[in-house]
Amino acid sequence: MKKTSIWILGILLIMLLGGTVKAQTPTRPEDLKFPPLKFEPPNPASFRVVMANGLRGYVREERSLPIVNITAIINTGSLYVPKEKAGLTDILSECLIKGGTKTRTGQVIEDRIDFLGGSLNFSVGERTASLTMSVLSKDLDEGLDLFFDVLMNPEFRDEAIKLAKGRLIEQLRSANDNPSQVLAREFEKVLYGEHPLTYEPTKATVESITQADLKSFHSKYFFPKNIIIAAAGDFSRDQLKSKINKYASKWANKNLSFPVISKNFPQPEPGVYFIQKKINQGYVSIGHLGIEDTNPDYFAVQVMNFILGGGSFTSRITSKVRSDEGLAYNTGSRFTYRWGFPGTFAGYVQTKSETVGYAISLILKEFERIRQEPVSEAEMETAINYYLESFADFFQSPIGTMVNFASLELQGKPMNYYATYRDKIKAVTREKVMEVAKKYIHPDKMVIMIVGDWEPCNKGSDKFPGPLDRLGKVHRLKLMNPLTGQLED
């Protein structure tokens, strides 16, 4: 009898506990509660080193895998190439490695890196160039020898230059085939005008590039004080510094004055800028110049744009144009940023030709709405939580973290940028969102760039009948022939 009673009491206790657990289990995903994410960013100063001849670096030991990653970030880019040599940095990107060095051919370098199971890559952007290498830690000495040979002693052999020119010219032949690329290029041309930010290579400028041009550009910008190293992996920090000093100590610095680049841009006439392409969709950007990422309002603008159109399915433009109206898969808004210059602000959409006008009208209404109506508490919470919860992504990998720190120093940003990032996001208020929307979104300055087929786009649909001049004065633009640089008929 006693055993039976104990058994019954046990069953009742299990049922009682089970009911408690069931009562405590959320029934919907949004009811799930998690403890606050605790993450403190590393301090850049802990990783900074200065090596021979003023070569700076951010170096982190990471022993979990027998791999070393190293990146050299050079303070140079396409912005500093004169118009008559446009395309030079494209050729440089191709030939720094493939063109070989004074003692090695490009093929020898690539074969040896492949044999080591590593990688070696070079690219040039608008204002920075990067040489990156990954090798097993046991091969670090040989890897560094290849890395600094390429960085310090490129030869730019004629055969590599010839092949790189041929590839670039072939790319120019198809440069007008992709509507998205045409839209991005022509939108920037209208906003920035004739400017180093918008120079494009032609067949003539590419063919004019010589070995001497490449060597001159390299000699001007590649030296220790104009480079920052980022490194992470299986090594001793002091030993890596000593190994790099062996190369940097033999590398002379130069006197460098960067070209002065104007920040004066045109004030394009608002309205529709239409580029004819016989396609069944319209590709659209609607906007004007934006801000620099050093602007004190940068964080508030990020939150505002997340709510407006940068927050994927939760944003207003996406909800209205895609979810409610079913007009487009690809739509939203963005602020782009570029070092030292204002970026662009744009709403964008890709939609059927006949619904181009209607989609544009909806986006313009959302621009006006966020300037006039306070955003909701729920929108603010979603936007701010996104930036707070994704903050750790800046530090996903050791080498990525070191590159981020190196980039901060290269661009002259405060080194406490990441330490203060979350507080600046948290400080954004609903009132501030409306303030920056009014300050940085200008309905009276909108350039509406459309790449599409004129007749159906201009005709419109029942919800927004044409013509397109309902949206503003229409400018019919001719495309430039990428090979000649001349306007096409």
pLDDT tens for 245-293 read 999 999 999 999 999 999 999 999 999 999 999 999 999 999 999 999 9
Over residues 429-436, the mean pLDDT reads 98
Confidence of residue 11 (pLDDT cuts 50, 70, 90): low
**Both 241 and 282 in a single domain?**
no
Answer whether residue 413 shows pLDDT above 80. yes
- Does residue 263 lie in a domain region? no
Which alpha helices (H) appear in 281-355, and where do they start and end?
298-305, 316-317
**Both 89 and 210 in a single domain?**
yes
Q: Closest by alpha carbon to 166, among 90, 280, 73?
A: 90
Instruction: Give the chain's domain count.
Output: 2
What is the tens place of the pLDDT at every residue in 103-146? 999 999 999 999 999 999 999 999 999 999 999 999 999 999 99
Note the pTM of the prediction, 2 decimals: 0.90
- Does residue 9 lie in a domain region? no
**Both 299 and 366 in a single domain?**
yes
Confidence of residue 4 (pLDDT cuts 50, 70, 90): low
Confidence of residue 313 (pLDDT cuts 50, 70, 90): confident
**Both 299 and 331 in a single domain?**
yes
**Both 148 and 210 in a single domain?**
yes
Residue 178 one-letter amino acid: N
For residue 188, the domain's CATH number is: 3.30.830.10
Q: Using DSSP, state whether 329 is helix, strand or coil.
A: strand
Over residues 456-473, the mean pLDDT reads 97
- Does residue 24 lie in a domain region? no
Per-residue pLDDT at 32: 75
**Both 227 and 281 in a single domain?**
no
**Both 81 and 221 in a single domain?**
yes
- Does residue 171 lie in a domain region? yes
**Both 75 and 206 in a single domain?**
yes
Residue 455, domain extent = 271-401+413-472
Continuous segment of H or E residues that includes residue 148: helix 140-152
- Does residue 135 lie in a domain region? yes
Per-residue pLDDT at 298: 98
- Does residue 35 lie in a domain region? no
- Does residue 6 lie in a domain region? no
Answer whether residue 489 shows pLDDT above 90. no
- 184, 215, 248: which is the final residue of a domain? 248
Token match 């590159």: residue?
A: 403
**Both 173 and 84 in a single domain?**
yes
Query: Rounded distance, CA 145 to CA 142, Å?
Result: 5
**Both 109 and 204 in a single domain?**
yes
**Both 132 and 166 in a single domain?**
yes
- Does residue 327 lie in a domain region? yes
**Both 278 and 389 in a single domain?**
yes
Residue pair 73/131 in contact (Cβ under 8 Å)? The answer is: no
